[in-house]
Amino acid sequence: MYNGGKILLGILIFLALATFPFYNNIGKADVEPKPSIDTPAIQKLSEKKCIEPTAFMKAEHMVLLNEWRDLAVRDNNRVYVAGDGKKYTISLQNTCMKCHSNKKEFCDKCHNYAGVSPYCWDCHLAPKEGK
């Protein structure tokens, strides 16, 4: 091989980059997140359901929250009519977080796991926990 040293150095750099995900995870246990819905407010509910079905909330909650922001802040509309006809007040702090008062055990679990950093808390006050 000609210029063998440089070629091998290049190959080593390539291998180090290409296999990074593999050796980076050696010895690290991957714990899948289990968001907790165990809060006093939820325990009191007779029927433990969110404003929309769980599957919808899981996939579309960020879209819903974005719509809520636009409705509340831009259109001054504070009433959300859910799929089953029930009416809810559009408010992150007073509706969502009233039940899900455990941001760290609920929101952050999946968000941290998947590397999602929602900018809700740039404006909203994060709920006080553990006090």
Report the interface residues with another protein, using CB under 8 A. 1-4, 7, 10-11, 14-15, 18-22, 24-26, 28, 30-33, 58-60, 62-63, 65-66, 110, 113-119
Shortest reach from residue 39's CB to another protein, in Å: 20
The string of DSSP letters for the chain reads: -TTHHHHHHHHHHHHHHHTHHHHHTTT---PPP------HHHHH-SS---SS-HHHHHHHHHHHHHHHHIIIIIT---EEE-TTS-EEE--IIIIIHHH---TTTTHHHHHHHHT---THHHHSPPPP---
Minimum CB distance to another protein, residue 131 (Å): 27
Comparison of 43 and 66: residue with beta carbon closer to another protein: 66
| Residue number with CB closer to another protein (58 or 86) | 58
